[in-house]
Structure formats: C-alpha cells, structure tokens
A = this chain, B = another copy of it.
C-alpha cells in the first residue's frame, strides 16, 4: 500500500540525514504527521495521541513509534520492518502517571542514543511542551536541539511523482469548485453547499478518488467576508451577498487549494473594482514568477501591480503547500512577504492567495502552482479567475 516507490522514501531519508549531519544532529524525533508520512509512508488519523518517527544517522531505517492499536496500521502503510514498528500499551494514553515520551526515551536508551544530540520539532502541533519535559527528564545526558522544519525543508522541492499527485489534486479541485458554484444559490442552506463541496472532494474523479483536506471547506458570507477562517452554518444564502470559498482538491494527502468569490445578485461597485484590481495584480505577479527569483521579490511585484489602487494586503500573498494533514495544508517553510529571501526553484509548489478581507469588502481568488525553470505551471489548469456572479 506504499504510495511511492521504496527508493523515493530512501532518497527522502538520505536527504534528511544529510541535513541532520550539516546541523550536527545525531537523532531526529519527528511528530508532524506529514513528516512521518513523507519518510515512512505512515498514514492514519492517530495523531491525536502522541506518536512519532525516529531517524538516526547510525541506523538505516527510521523507527515508527505509536499506540498499540495503530501498530498494524504502520505495518500496512509503511515499508518498515516489524522490528522498527514499536508501540506502547494503552495505559500510556492520556494518563495521569505515564507519558508516551517515556516510552520513546526507553527506545532511545535501548539503541544507545541517550548521550547523543537529539533534535525534536519544537514548534509543531502534536509536539507539546510536556513531550519535551518528559524526554529531557528521561534522557539527562542527551543534548537537545531544535529540528523544527528540518524535514519540511526537504519537502520543499517535489519529485515528479509528487507533482503528478498534485496535478491529480488540481483536477479534483476544479471539480470541487464547480460543484460549489453550482450549489450556492439564494435559499440554499450553507450546510447543503458545504455537503456538496465535501462530497466532491472525497469522491474525486472517475479515475481516482479524493482524500480529506487538511483544512475543511472555508465559507464566508455577509459580514463574515471581513475575515478568513469561518465555516458554514445552516442559514440560507440571501440575495445580494458575497460568498468567499477557500477549498482544495486532495489526492493521497497532496493538496491543490482553490479559492473563488461568488456574488448572488448584482455586485456593488467596490466588489467589481476590487476583483478587477486583484485579478489583474495576480496575473502580473504570476507572469513574474520563475525559478531564481526570491519570495520577497514576488511579493514586491504584487504590491507594485496593485499600487495604483487603494487596496492594501497586510498578510503574506503566497505560501508553500503539498503533502499535509490537519490543521494546515501549508508547509511553513517560506512566505511571499518582505524579508523572505528564499530563492524559488523548479518544483517548489505554492498557494498564491492575494485575497483581502476587510469590513468594506472581501474578495478571494488564487492559483496553486509549481515553479518551473522559465515560469510556473498552474495545477488548476485554465479554471477562470473571475468573480462568479449568479
């Protein structure tokens, strides 16, 4: 049930170990679900309990560590040998006396790594402060370092197979947005449109199925368009209101986000003007994008392109995305904003979202792209950029 050839996993592990060497790290404990999947194939909604993968420079394969009931899940979804799948008894779960990191520390001791330099993901969901305290207590001779984003950095440039997965996600994304635009109408409940969207996301295409998104469908209506992370209720869409949708197509946990704005009725002048400025600015920014330019240069181009208007976008205008699990499809490694000097390289993938959310007007449009030598390629094909008026 591996999604990639085993050599692709081995290559990822090799790159991870190289980074570990450069940073003086002997042993890396990762708990971000996307990173666990990336290095071992592990796939399961088990991240609500503590788990992780250990990569050590002196051991070829990683070790998966999780809860007893998930060990067979690791046997099914990873390439790991049975001896490298280690699981803890259920009395470690949400216990007042035991903690899963004590079990992790026991394995580190058993392998002779307790006086090594050990890195953990210090600013990732699922690696809590308590996790750190337990490891530190159980491994007093270890030197701890921050391994935050180490594997995320390896994930920045996608393989051809990963790009193929993301193109599939893009094809699903287009179907999802079409379903959404079809569904949203005056008198329809928000939840009914959200149900249609989710249905399209999971069903996928006739050729391949879809997966669950790392972010549920975001839907902002009425005064809600002044903000960005709301979901649906059971109120009905009304005439003369904007609906912002931030959705995604997903294939085997790889994402292609898609965001558009619908207006039910006749959009006011400010909405049409804002749409024109942002769509034009996005087009000019995309034209500028290619391998070799930096994140901040792209953002400067965007700011220049809309400088003739009075629109101000205070948040980053793009971020990398790809393989992910809830709560985010973003990869956290770069942001298109002032100060980010990361140089774009082929097969980096970005969600370009030059959206605004103010009290006066909210508008969303985006593109999900991969960087090429000479420019970019959209994962969304030629799906129209406009404001959808119904």
Residues of chain A touching chain B, judged by Cβ–Cβ distance below 8 Å, are: 1, 43-48, 68-73, 76-77, 89-91, 93-94, 99, 120, 122-133, 146, 148, 189-192, 194-196, 198-204, 208-212, 215-216, 218, 223-224, 226-234, 314-316, 319, 326-328, 330, 332, 335, 337-339, 357, 359
Taking CB as reference atom, which chain B residue is nearest A325? B327
Give A170 Cβ to nearest chain B Cβ, in Å.
17
Select A48's contact among B77, B89, B330, B335, beta carbons within 8 Å. Answer: B330
A90 to B315, CA, bound (A): 5
**Contact status of A215 and B48, CB under 8 A, knowing A124-B128, A314-B68:** yes
User: Is the beta-carbon distance between A227 and B71 smaller than 8 angstroms?
Assistant: yes
**Contact status of A327 and B45, CB under 8 A, knowing A73-B227, A127-B129:** yes
Select A337's contact among B90, B133, B332, beta carbons within 8 Å. Answer: B90
Select A204's contact among B123, B131, B234, beta carbons within 8 Å. Answer: B234
User: Is the beta-carbon distance between B209 and A203 smaller than 8 angstroms?
Assistant: no
Write out the residue numbers on chain B whose beta carbons fall within 8 Å of the beta carbon of A76: 223-224, 226-227, 230
User: Is the beta-carbon distance between A72 and B129 smaller than 8 angstroms?
Assistant: no
User: Is the beta-carbon distance between A120 and B126 smaller than 8 angstroms?
Assistant: no
A91 to B215, CA, bound (A): 22
Select A203's contact among B99, B192, B319, B330, beta carbons within 8 Å. Answer: B192
Main secondary structure of the interface of A (DSSP, over half): loop
Give A235 Cβ to nearest chain B Cβ, in Å.
9
User: Is the beta-carbon distance between B227 and A203 smaller than 8 angstroms?
Assistant: no
User: How many monomers of this protein are in the complex?
Assistant: 2
Give A310 Cβ to nearest chain B Cβ, in Å.
18
Give A200 Cβ to nearest chain B Cβ, in Å.
8
4 further A-B pairs in the complex, CB-CB below 8 A; given A122-B129, A126-B327, A191-B203:
A69-B315, A93-B335, A199-B199, A327-B327
Write out the residue numbers on chain B whose beta carbons fall within 8 Å of the beta carbon of A228: 46, 69-70, 73
Select A216's contact among B131, B212, B337, beta carbons within 8 Å. Answer: B212
Write out the residue numbers on chain B whose beta carbons fall within 8 Å of the beta carbon of A208: 234
Select A230's contact among B73, B128, B133, B328, beta carbons within 8 Å. Answer: B73
Give A152 Cβ to nearest chain B Cβ, in Å.
10
**Contact status of A133 and B125, CB under 8 A, knowing A47-B327, A94-B335, A234-B209:** no
User: Is the beta-carbon distance between A202 and B212 smaller than 8 angstroms?
Assistant: no
User: Is the beta-carbon distance between B223 and A93 smaller than 8 angstroms?
Assistant: no
Give A56 Cβ to nearest chain B Cβ, in Å.
21
Give A215 Cβ to nearest chain B Cβ, in Å.
6
User: Is the beta-carbon distance between B216 and A192 smaller than 8 angstroms?
Assistant: no
Give A255 Cβ to nearest chain B Cβ, in Å.
13
User: Is the beta-carbon distance between A123 and B127 smaller than 8 angstroms?
Assistant: no
Taking CB as reference atom, which chain B residue is nearest A94? B332
Give A259 Cβ to nearest chain B Cβ, in Å.
13
A126 to B198, CA, bound (A): 25
A-B contact pairs, 12 of them (CB 8 A): A45-B216, A46-B228, A70-B228, A73-B229, A76-B226, A120-B129, A122-B130, A124-B128, A130-B146, A198-B198, A199-B199, A327-B327
A335 to B233, CA, bound (A): 32
Taking CB as reference atom, which chain B residue is nearest A47? B327
Closest A-B pairs by Cβ, 8 of them: A191-B209, A209-B234, A48-B328, A123-B130, A72-B227, A73-B227, A195-B203, A195-B202
